Amino acid sequence: VGKPGSAAAPIKTPSYRFAHNCGVESLSWLSDGQILAVGCQKRNVQLYDLRVAGTNAPPISVFAHSDVVSGIAEDVICPTKSTFATFGTNAGEPVKIWDSRKMHGTLGEIRVGASCSVSAISWSTARPGTLSVAIGDSIGSYDTRTPGSRALPVGVSYMNNG
């Protein structure tokens, strides 16, 4: 960081360095920046806990999806700061909801149609527990706190650019 108007000095040395055994497809910081979640090209989610002494601690690794873990999103308004969701882009692959404190299983899943592929996910910063899921040209918002939740209505307007 330099003085205003001056060229900033390049950052050359990483703060942390992690050995990783496969390609990385997605990344997200969890728990107020204490945990780095890594979505792997080989179906796993790996959690690196920076609160553990040193950076050589092995990650927590769990099988997450049938192929690449394409995206990770943290629920930033969750009181525990531990809830996050993952998705893969294979047709029919569910969105999975996790608790970084209890990685032995998921908190829940949002199932999409057998021929549908998820392209993006995002948690609401105004509605607790609401996760929006993009599938093709549609978006569904789900109340993840209610088991069996169906998509909530989302107001969408289209602008004609012609």
pLDDT tens across 86-100, in order?
Answer: 999 999 999 999 999
Residue percentage of the chain with pLDDT more than 90:
49
pLDDT at 53: 60
pTM above 0.85, yes or no: no
pLDDT at 159: 47
For 43-82, the pLDDT digits (tens) are: 999 998 888 766 567 888 899 999 999 999 999 999 888 9
pLDDT at 23: 83
Name beta bridge partners: 48.
36
pLDDT at 58: 80
| Exposure b/e, 81-117, CB count within 10 A at least 16 = b | bbbbbbbbbeeebbbbbbebeeeeebebebebeeeeb
Q: Which residues contact 26 (CB under 8 A, 6 or more apart)?
A: 38, 39, 69, 70, 71, 72, 86
